[in-house]
Amino acid sequence: MPVREVSRLPELNEILETSDSNRLIIVDFFANWCGPCRMISPAFERMSMEFGNATFLKVNTDLARDVVMRYSISAMPTFLFFKNKQQVDSVRGANESAIISTIRKHYSSTPANPNAASDEEKKFLERFVGYTELRKMHTDEVFKALARSVMPDGISDRLESGEDEKKVLQELLDWFKNDFFAWFDRPTCPKCTLKCTTEGLNGTPTKEEKDGGAGRVEVYICDGCNSEMRFPRYNDPSKLLQTCTGRCGEWANCFGLILSAAGLENRFVLDTTDHVWNEVYLKKEQRWIHVDPCENTMDRPLLYTRGWKKQLKYCIAYGHDHVADVTWRYVFDSKKLVAEERNEVRQGVLENFLGKLNARQMAGATEERKRELAVRRVCELMEMMVLEAKNQRIGWEKLGEDMGGRTTASVNAHAVILRLSGYKLQNS
Ligand SMILES: [Zn+2]
């Protein structure tokens, strides 16, 4: 890993707090005007490449005054060594051999926790955290009421009275795609009615756009009259009930709120290759199914890898109180994918990370709900095994138009596990 510059004390504390207890952290306190500092800098960079299980940081003493004060740095360069949140050593001056021998003294090449994420893995995993916040908005009672005010009447009543979930879900999908939400590709200029042909540029959201939850905005320039058109990428699903437009991110986000408002338990699925969709839990069939509002389709999980020839790698599903890696449902051979193609993060590290995220998500859940989620998790594992066996038996070539989904080979695992565990759901 290259040397990373730390500019404030909280940033350094965060690194010290979250690093594996076996990981050595070396901080170079330097100044731009200091000759010896400049001289040792390339050697420090080289060390950062050589010692993979150590973190190399640098602090500009003219800028990060709080860090300098905290560690009473009085000479440049100074090197401080930390392990397990504690300072363990220091070296003063641009003495390369002293720095290396001090590293060797404290360095261990393996982490204490083999499933602890490396810096690169942490960076990759960071993107998975934010979506748990999004899911909170889907269960907001005010947002759900807003959603019900635009939805076709009586949807939740019909579901409550026991009408077929898939039938109602299909109606919702039809309505959403045909009558409610629009796909946004490029804008059309309101003055000269020309459709934009150039790519959108990255702009800074205005205050109003930020209030609507836009993290970024695309700016388009009209080819005809040079006027500017903006497309804020809103993350707030209640805002999307008004704008009714977007790409797959906005579609799945807004549809997630619609599903929650209808009373259908759902997940928001993010794939790291940049497509998102939904999943719905069918109470009668006791399983999660794939739902894609952009495509107006359901229960065709192999649509992306077979239909679109897309390579999916990490499909993470966000329920309102849990997280799951559901990649297996959307690829043909998940064993092979995990073993050979997924190399951004080690499998054990990913599971460890999702386990922690899950624990946090489930913190407020009742014991009964936790048990239900545990049963469903086992069911999904069994479903995965059945699916893999089926795919292997048929083979990729012969799958034809089969896009996965319900198979006759599926077992009603849910009921079996409930019976085995002696646990009864109230309504079963
Ligand atoms: Zn124009």
Q: What is the CATH number of the domain that holds 91?
A: 3.40.30.10
Question: 146 with 62, same domain?
Answer: no
* pLDDT per residue as tens digits for the range 349-408: 999 999 989 988 888 899 999 999 999 999 898 888 888 888 888 888 888 777 877 754
Question: 142 with 264, same domain?
Answer: yes
- Of the three residues 113, 142, 174, the one that is the final residue of a domain is 113
Question: 301 with 346, same domain?
Answer: yes
| Tokens, residue 311 | 């390579």
Question: 385 with 254, same domain?
Answer: yes
Between CA 330 and CA 313 the distance in angstroms is: 9
271: nearest Cα among 214, 321, 218, 330? 330
Q: Is residue 427 predicted with pLDDT exceeding 60?
A: no
| Mean pLDDT to the nearest integer, 199-210 | 89
pLDDT for 428: 36
* Confidence class for position 409, pLDDT limits 50, 70, 90: very low
| Tokens, residue 345 | 């993060």
pLDDT for 113: 79
- Residue 113: which residues within 8 A CB-CB, separation 6 or more? 20, 21, 352
Question: 136 with 28, same domain?
Answer: no
Let me know if residue 302 belongs to a domain.
Answer: yes
Q: Compute the radius of gyration of the chain from its Cα atoms.
A: 26
Let me know if residue 258 belongs to a domain.
Answer: yes
Let me know if residue 407 belongs to a domain.
Answer: yes
Question: 403 with 287, same domain?
Answer: yes
Q: Is residue 73 predicted with pLDDT exceeding 90?
A: yes
| Mean pLDDT to the nearest integer, 112-126 | 84
Question: 109 with 138, same domain?
Answer: no
Question: 143 with 35, same domain?
Answer: no
Q: How far is the CA of 190 from the centre of ligand 1 (A)?
A: 7
Q: How far is the CA of 243 from the centre of ligand 1 (A)?
A: 21
**Among all residues, which ones are annotated catalytic?**
248, 275, 292
| Mean pLDDT to the nearest integer, 198-222 | 89
| Mean pLDDT to the nearest integer, 64-75 | 95
Q: How far is the CA of 90 from the centre of ligand 1 (A)?
A: 63
Q: Is residue 417 predicted with pLDDT exceeding 80?
A: no
Q: How far is the CA of 219 from the centre of ligand 1 (A)?
A: 13
Question: Which range, of 108-112, 217-221, 222-226, 341-345, averages the lowest pLDDT?
Answer: 108-112
Between CA 300 and CA 274 the distance in angstroms is: 18
329: nearest Cα among 373, 380, 284, 283? 380
End-to-end CA distance of the chain: 54
pLDDT for 212: 83
pLDDT for 368: 94
Higher pLDDT, 249 or 399: 249
What CATH number has the domain bearing residue 155? 3.10.620.30
Question: 87 with 147, same domain?
Answer: no
Let me know if residue 196 belongs to a domain.
Answer: no
Let me know if residue 147 belongs to a domain.
Answer: yes
Between CA 276 and CA 266 the distance in angstroms is: 13
Let me know if residue 342 belongs to a domain.
Answer: yes
| Mean pLDDT to the nearest integer, 206-234 | 91
Let me know if residue 172 belongs to a domain.
Answer: yes
- Of the three residues 59, 81, 113, the one that is the final residue of a domain is 113
Q: How many domains does the chain have?
A: 2
ipTM for the assembly: 0.94
- Of the three residues 82, 113, 144, the one that is the final residue of a domain is 113
Let me know if residue 306 belongs to a domain.
Answer: yes
Which range marks the domain in which residue 165 is found? 131-184+247-421
| Tokens, residue 183 | 């796909």
| Mean pLDDT to the nearest integer, 133-144 | 92
The per-residue DSSP string of 312-376 comes to: ---EEEE-SS-EEE-HHHHSS-HHHIIIII--SS-HHHHHHHHHHHHHHHTTT--HHHHHHHHHH
396: nearest Cα among 319, 336, 353, 317? 336
